[in-house]
Amino acid sequence: MTPEEIVGFKVARLREAAGLSQAQLGASMAKPWSRQAVSAAEKGRRAFTLADLTAVAAALNVSTASLLPDEAIDSRRALEAELAVAERALGEALIQCADLRARVTFLRAQLDHYEEEDSDG
C-alpha cells in the first residue's frame, strides 16, 4: 500500500466510526471538500499536504498523527494485501495449469488413436 492509500484507509475507517458520510466529512472541514474529493482521498488517489492532514484530523476530531502510517501495522497490511494478490495469481495459474494438463491429455489420446489406426492398417 502507498502512504496515500494508508492515510485514505485510516480516514475512511475513522469517518465510518464517527457515523459521517463522505459528503458530511467534506462539508465539516475548514476549507470544504466535495464528496468526490473525500472519496478520492479515501481510495489513496489524492496526495495529502500537511494542511490537508490537519484539516481532515480536525474534522474527525483525531490527532494528525493518528492519520499517518504506522510502520509496523501498515507494513503488515501491505504484506497481507500483497499476499492476497499473490494467492489470487497462484490460483489462476493452477487453474491454467489444470486446463493445460487436460489439453495435453486430450492431445495424447488423439495421437494414440492415430497410432492405433496406423498399426492396424
Q: What is the pLDDT of residues 11-40, one digit of tens each?
A: 999 999 999 999 999 999 989 999 999 999
Same domain membership, residue 31 and residue 42? yes
Same domain membership, residue 38 and residue 54? yes
Domain span including residue 52: 3-67
- For 97, other C-beta atoms within 10 Å of its C-beta total 10
Reported as a single tens digit per residue, the pLDDT across 33-60 is 999 999 999 999 998 899 999 999 999 9
Helix (H) or strand (E) holding 64: none
Same domain membership, residue 41 and residue 17? yes
Reported as a single tens digit per residue, the pLDDT across 90-107 is 988 888 998 899 999 999
Same domain membership, residue 97 and residue 120? yes
Gyration radius (Cα) of the chain, Å: 26
CA-closest candidate to residue 6, choices 74, 83, 76 = 74
Long-range pairs for 27-32 at CB < 8 Å and ≥24 separation? 28/59, 29/55, 29/56, 29/58, 29/59, 30/55, 30/58, 30/59, 31/55
Categorize the per-residue pLDDT at 79 as very low, low, confident or very high, splitting at 50, 70 and 90: confident
